[in-house]
Amino acid sequence: MARKEITTIKISKDTVKALNLLKIHPRQSYEEVILELLKKKKGEKKR
C-alpha cells in the first residue's frame, strides 16, 4: 500500500476545540473528523 503524502495546516485553538467535540473516540484523528465533515457537506450538495 502506497503511503499518503502528509501536509500541515494551521487552525485556531477554537477550531481544535470544535473538532475535538466532533470526535467519536478520543484517539480519532483530525483527518478522520475533517473527512467525515467533507463527506456530509458533499452529500448536502447532491440534494
Domain ranges of the chain: 13-45
Predicted confidence (pLDDT) at residue 1 exceeds the cutoff of 80: no
d(C-alpha 43, C-alpha 36), whole Å: 11
d(C-alpha 30, C-alpha 22), whole Å: 9
Confirm whether pTM is higher than 0.85.
Answer: no
Predicted confidence (pLDDT) at residue 12 exceeds the cutoff of 80: yes
Q: What band does 2 get if pLDDT is binned at 50, 70 and 90?
A: confident
d(C-alpha 27, C-alpha 39), whole Å: 20
d(C-alpha 46, C-alpha 25), whole Å: 29
* Percent of the chain with pLDDT strictly greater than 70: 98
Give the count of beta carbons closer than 10 Å to the beta carbon of residue 23.
14
Strand, helix or coil at 23? coil
